Amino acid sequence: MIRLIRNEFLKLHRRHFFLVSFVIVSLALSIYTGVYYFMADNRTDQDIVEQQLEKEKAYMAQIESIQWDTELEMQSAILSSQATIDRLQYMVDHKIAVWDWRSDVLSRYYTNQNIISLLNAGQDPKDYGFTDSSGSYDSKATWIQRLTNQCDVQMRMVEENDYMTYSQEQLGLLQTQYAQNYSNMSTLDQVLMDIEIESWKLYIQYQTPPRAVDQWKSVAIEELANEKEALARFQYDETYTENMTEEVKSRQYTWTKRRIRINEFALKNDTIPLSVYETMAANANTVTYSSYLLSLKNMMLVVMAVCVLLSATIMSREFTRGTIRQLLLSPYSRTTIAASKLITCLCVAAIFSVLTPVFGMIAGRLLFSNQTIGSSLSTGALPSYVSNLRNNIIEFPFHTYIFMNYALEALKIVVMIVITLMFSTITESASGPGLIMLVLSLAGAQIFQALYEYIYPAKALRYLLFGNLNLIQYIQGSWVAPYPSAITSIVVIFIVTLLALFVYFTNFRYKEISA
Amino acid sequence: MAENAVLQLDNVSRYHGSRMVIDHCSCDLYPGEIVGLVGPNGSGKSTLIKLILGLFHLSEGSIRIQNKDISEIFRKPGNRVGAILEDPTHYEYMSGLDHLMMTARLYPDVSLERIREVTDMTGLKSCIRNKVSSYTTGQKHMLALAQALLPKPKLLILDEPTNGLDPVGIRELREILKKLAQEGVCIMVSSHILSEMDMLCSRIIIMKNGRFIADLSSHELLDPNRVRVRIRVGQPEQAVEILESLFDDISIRQENDELVITGENLQVPQMNRTLIFNEIDVYEIAINREPLEEYFLELMQEDKS
C-alpha cells in the first residue's frame, strides 16, 4: 500500500500538483492576510477625538456666515460649539476616548459652563425654564452658584476618574425616574428599565467603568443588557417576533438565553470570553491575532477546492488516459489500489489543512497583536471560548478552539473528497463530478439554506448532507437553516461518508475496464 | 502435462447481455511457447485477453495462471504476469525511468540492475530520462514491454503489439520475444498481421465468433504434405476440369485466372506437364509461402459456406 501511495505522490509531483497547489494556497493566504491587514482601520481613539475636534473647529470658523433667525440663536450656537471644542480639547489633552463615560460628564460640564457664561452675559434664567424644587424661579446668582458647584463636582469626577460615583449617581437617577413613572409604564418598559438598573448595579458590583469598550467586563455587561432586552422583547413585544417563524423564534430565543448564561459565567468567573474580546476588537477597529486566525478559516475553502479537484482527477484520469489497465496489472488488489488513491487525497488534505493554520499563526503573530485593544488585555493573554453545551458551560482555551475550528473544516474536506472520488470513479470522468462537487463544497451550505428558506421549507431537508456539515455551529450555539440537531448532523455525515466509501470501493472492485 | 501449464483456460465463456462473445474456449499454454491468437475483427481476441488479465469478469469457466485462479493471482505480490494491451498508454508527463521506477517499486525483488537490464534489452537507454510525450510510437511500445518484463514474468500477454510499429520495430520486438521464449517465458500474442505471426509463433490459435476453431503448432502449418499451389493459367475453367479429372484428393479453388490447389502430396511437375499437354497456357506456378494466411482464409471461407 505504501508503495502505491509513493507512486501516487510521484505522479502528483511530476504533474507539478504540489507546486501549483502550494502556490495557489499560499497566494490565497497571502492575499487574504494582506487585505485583512490593510482593511483594518487602525485609527486610535485619540485620532478619532482629534478628527472630531478638527471638524468642530471648522464648523466654528464658518458659524457666522450661516443665516440665523436671531442674534441669540447665533450666539447660542457659537457658545455650544465652543463648549464642544473645549470638551474635545480637554479629551485630547487628557487622552479620553469618545466612548468614555467622562465624555458624557464633560459634555454636561461644558454645557453648564456655557450657561454660566450666558447668565453672566445678562441672560435670564427664566429663558431656560430654571426652577427650584417648588417650581418657583430662583435668582440668577443662586443659579450661577448652583451650576458652578455642579461643575466642580463634575470636573473632580473626571479628574479623579471616579466612575464609581458616576455609576452610583446614574443608578440613583434611574431608580428615581423608575419610582416616579412606574405606574404609567408598560410591562415591557418596566422590564427594560429593570434591565438598565441591573446594568448599573453590575458596573458598580464589578467596579468597572460604564460602557467602556476597552474594558471587557463593561462590554460583557453591555452585551448582557442587550441580550436581556432581546429576551424581554421576545416575551412582551409582539412586533419583535412577527416576522419570525416558530422555528427561528425558538432558535433565537435559545441562542439569546445561551448568550446570557455565557456572559454571566464570564463575569462571575473573571474569564474573558472570545466573543466579548472580538466585540472589543471590532469597537476599536483593530485586527487582532485571534480574529485573524478565526477568519483565516475561510481559506480552508481554497484547500477544499484543491482537494476536490484532486479527488475528481486522481482516479478518472487513469480511466481517460487508459493507464488504469497497467495499474490493475500490479500485484495489488483493486481495493488496495482504490484505498491508495483515497489515502493520497487525504494526505494532501492533511498537509494543506495543517499548513493553513500554521501560516495563520506565524503571519498573525508577526502582523497582528493581541495587545493593542485595551489596557485590561495588555497582558497579551488569549481569550478562551466559552460555550454553552446542553446547559453546561464549557471553557475552551483559545488554541483548542482554533484547533476545533480547523479540524471540523478538515472533516468537511474529508467528506467532500470521499464523495468526489466516488462520483468520478463511477462516471470515469473528472469534469462533471469535479465541477458539481466544487460548487457544492464552496456553496453547498448556502444553497441548501436558500432552498430551505425560500423554495422548499420541508423539514426533511435537514437530513441532507449540506445542511449538516457545519458542525462548529453546535459549539458556537448558532444555527443555520435547515436547523438540524448535532446528533442528526453527526449521524448524517457518518452515514453519507460510509455509503460513499462503500459505493466507491464496490464500484471500483467490480468495474470492468474496457478502455 | 497440464500441471506444467502456465495458462489454463477451461471452458471460458463470456456474455455481453444475452450475446455470447466468448464461447467455451479451452486451452493450455506452456513455458517457452509463443502462442498466436488469430481471428477476424470481433472474433473475441481482445475480450479473451481482458478476461485473462482480470479486466473483464468471466461468465462461465475458469482461468488459471501457474495453477492459481486469476481471482487470486492479481491480488498477490507473486503475480508474474506481464501484459501490453493494444495502444499502450503512459503518463505523458513522466519519464520512461519514472515508469520503470514506479513498476519496480511494486515488486520488492526488482533491483536497479534489473531496470538497467530491461532498458538495454528494449533499446531505451538513450531516451529513458526523457518525458514519454517525446517518445515515438515504437519507443512507447518498448517502454510498455520494459515495464511488463521488469518482474521477470512467466506469462507475457501482448494484444496487437505491432500496431503502429515500423518494420525495424517489429523485427526488434520479434527478436526480444523469441529470446524470452527461449528463457522459458510463455508468450501469448494477438495480431492481425498473419505473416508476422507465422514468423514469430510456435503455435497458432484461430478464433472466430468467440470460439477457438483451430489450434495448430507451426509444424502442422508447415507440413510439407499440406502444400498449397497457385497456378496462373490462360484458360482457368478448362484447367480446373482437367486437373480434377486426372488428380485425386486435391481441392481446387478458382480465383479469377488463378487456381489455388491444396491437397496431400501434390505432384506439381506432373500437373504442369498435364496442363501444357492439354494446351493450357501456364503463366506462373507458385508454391505458397504463407501457409497461415492460406489456412486462415480457407477456414474463414469454410465457415462461411
| CA-to-CA separations, A17 to A8, A11, A101, A307, A348, in angstroms, rounded | 11, 9, 58, 11, 10
Count CB neighbours of A134 within 10 A.
Answer: 6
- Work out the average pLDDT over B189-208: 80
Q: Are A280 and A374 in contact (CB under 8 A)?
A: yes
Name the DSSP class of B94: S
d(CA B33, CA B185) in angstroms, rounded, equals: 7
Among A472, A474, A467, smallest CA distance to A493 is for A467
Q: How far is B271 from chain A (nearest CA, A)?
A: 53
Mean pLDDT taken over chain B: 81
Give the containing element (helix H, strand E) for A95. none
User: Which of B74, B94, B106 is nearest residue A14 as measured by Cβ atoms?
Assistant: B94
- Does residue A355 come out as left (phi exceeding 0), alpha (psi in the -120 to 50 range) or beta? alpha
**Interface contact B94-A11, CB threshold 8 A:** yes
B173's CB contacts (< 8 A; 6+ apart) are: B141, B142, B145, B161, B162, B165
Put simply, whether B46 touches A (Cβ < 8 Å) is no
pLDDT digits (tens, 9 = 90+) for A174-231: 888 888 888 888 888 888 888 999 999 999 998 888 888 878 888 889 989 999 998 8
- Work out the average pLDDT over B17-37: 84
More confident call, A394 vs A14: A14
Put simply, whether B57 touches A (Cβ < 8 Å) is yes
Q: What are the backbone angles phi and psi of residue B289, rounded to the nearest 5°? A: -100, 5
Give the containing element (helix H, strand E) for A207. none
Name the DSSP class of A455: I
User: Which of B53, B78, B105 is nearest residue A329 as measured by Cβ atoms?
Assistant: B53
Q: What pLDDT, on the 0 to 100 scale, is given for residue B68?
A: 78
**Interface contact A333-B74, CB threshold 8 A:** yes
More confident call, A499 vs A62: A499
Residues of chain B contacting residue A321, judged by C-beta atoms under 8 Å apart: 89, 91-92
Q: Are A105 and A166 in contact (CB under 8 A)?
A: yes
Going A272 to A276 to A282 to A283, the CA torsion angle's sign is negative
**Interface contact B91-A512, CB threshold 8 A:** no
Residues of chain B contacting residue A3, judged by C-beta atoms under 8 Å apart: 105-106
Task: At B129, list the grid cell.
Answer: 530520462
- Work out the average pLDDT over B296-301: 69
CA atoms within 13 A on the CB side of B27: 23
Among A235, A176, A230, A232, smallest CA distance to A200 is for A176
- Work out the average pLDDT over A254-279: 83
Residues of chain A contacting residue B76, judged by C-beta atoms under 8 Å apart: 331
Strand ordering across the sheet containing B186-190: B81-84, B155-159, B186-190, B34-38, B203-208, B211-217
The answer to whether residue A374 scores a pLDDT higher than 70 is no
Q: How far is B255 from chain A (nearest CA, A)?
A: 40
- Does residue A136 come out as left (phi exceeding 0), alpha (psi in the -120 to 50 range) or beta? beta
User: Which of B55, B92, B106 is nearest residue A330 as measured by Cβ atoms?
Assistant: B106
pLDDT digits (tens, 9 = 90+) for B100-159: 998 888 888 888 888 888 888 887 888 888 888 888 888 888 898 888 888 888 888 888
User: Which of A4, A323, A514 is nearest residue B90 as measured by Cβ atoms?
Assistant: A323
Pairing of strands B60-65, B68-69: antiparallel
Q: What pLDDT, on the 0 to 100 scale, is given for residue A372?
A: 45
Amino acid at A236: Y
Residues of chain B contacting residue A323, judged by C-beta atoms under 8 Å apart: 89-91
Q: Are B187 and B7 in contact (CB under 8 A)?
A: no
Q: How far is A325 from chain B (nearest CA, A)?
A: 7
The answer to whether residue B76 scores a pLDDT higher than 60 is no
Give B 129-148 residues with CB within 8 A of chain A: 144, 147
CB-count burial class (<10 Å; 0-12, 13-18, 19+) for A351: middle
- Work out the average pLDDT over A32-51: 77
Count Cβ neighbours within 10 Å for each residue of A223-249 and write b for 16 or more, e otherwise. bbbbbbbbbbbbeebeebbeeeeeeee
Residue in chain B closest to A1 (alpha carbons) equals B106
Q: What pLDDT, on the 0 to 100 scale, is given for residue A243?
A: 78
**Interface contact A513-B106, CB threshold 8 A:** no
Put simply, whether B85 touches A (Cβ < 8 Å) is yes
Pairing of strands B34-38, B203-208: parallel
Give the containing element (helix H, strand E) for B207. strand B203-208
Q: Are A441 and A419 in contact (CB under 8 A)?
A: no
Alpha helices in A242-333 (DSSP H): 246-269, 274-283, 289-295, 300-314, 316-321, 324-328
Q: What pLDDT, on the 0 to 100 scale, is given for residue A340?
A: 93
Residues of chain B contacting residue A332, judged by C-beta atoms under 8 Å apart: 75, 106
d(CA B162, CA B142) in angstroms, rounded, equals: 11
Q: Which long-range contacts (CB under 8 A, 24 or more apart) does A468-472 make?
A: A468/A492, A468/A493, A469/A412, A469/A415, A469/A444, A469/A445, A469/A493, A470/A408, A470/A412, A470/A445, A471/A408, A471/A411, A472/A404, A472/A405, A472/A408
Task: At A512, list the grid cell.
Answer: 470492468
Q: Are A312 and A424 in contact (CB under 8 A)?
A: yes
Mean pLDDT taken over chain A: 83
Q: Return the residue matching grid coordinates 470522468.
A: A429
Q: Are A302 and A58 in contact (CB under 8 A)?
A: no
Count Cβ neighbours within 10 Å for each residue of B10-21 and write b for 16 or more, e otherwise. eebbbeeeeebb
pLDDT digits (tens, 9 = 90+) for B77-105: 556 778 888 778 888 889 989 999 988 88
pLDDT digits (tens, 9 = 90+) for B238-255: 888 888 888 877 778 888
- Mutation target among B68, B72, B85 for the A interface, most CBs of A within 10 A: B85
pLDDT digits (tens, 9 = 90+) for B213-242: 777 776 666 565 566 788 888 888 888 888
Q: What pLDDT, on the 0 to 100 scale, is given for residue B222?
A: 59
d(CA A349, CA A171) in angstroms, rounded, equals: 57
Name the DSSP class of B305: -
Q: What pLDDT, on the 0 to 100 scale, is given for residue A224?
A: 92
Q: What pLDDT, on the 0 to 100 scale, is given for residue B142?
A: 85
* 3-class secondary structure, A53: helix
Pairing of strands B258-263, B250-255: antiparallel
- Give a three-class secondary structure readout of A345-407: HHHHHHHHHHHHHHHHHHHHHHHCCCCCCCHHHCCCCCCEEEEEECCEEEEECHHHHHHHHHH
pLDDT digits (tens, 9 = 90+) for A123-164: 776 766 666 666 566 677 777 888 888 889 888 888 888 888
Q: How far is A316 from chain B (nearest CA, A)?
A: 13
The answer to whether residue B1 scores a pLDDT higher than 70 is no
Amino acid at A508: F
pLDDT digits (tens, 9 = 90+) for A437-457: 888 888 888 888 788 777 777
Task: At A325, list the grid cell.
Answer: 489497465
Q: Are B21 and B39 in contact (CB under 8 A)?
A: no
**Interface contact A15-B101, CB threshold 8 A:** no
The answer to whether residue A368 scores a pLDDT higher than 70 is yes
* 3-class secondary structure, B28: strand
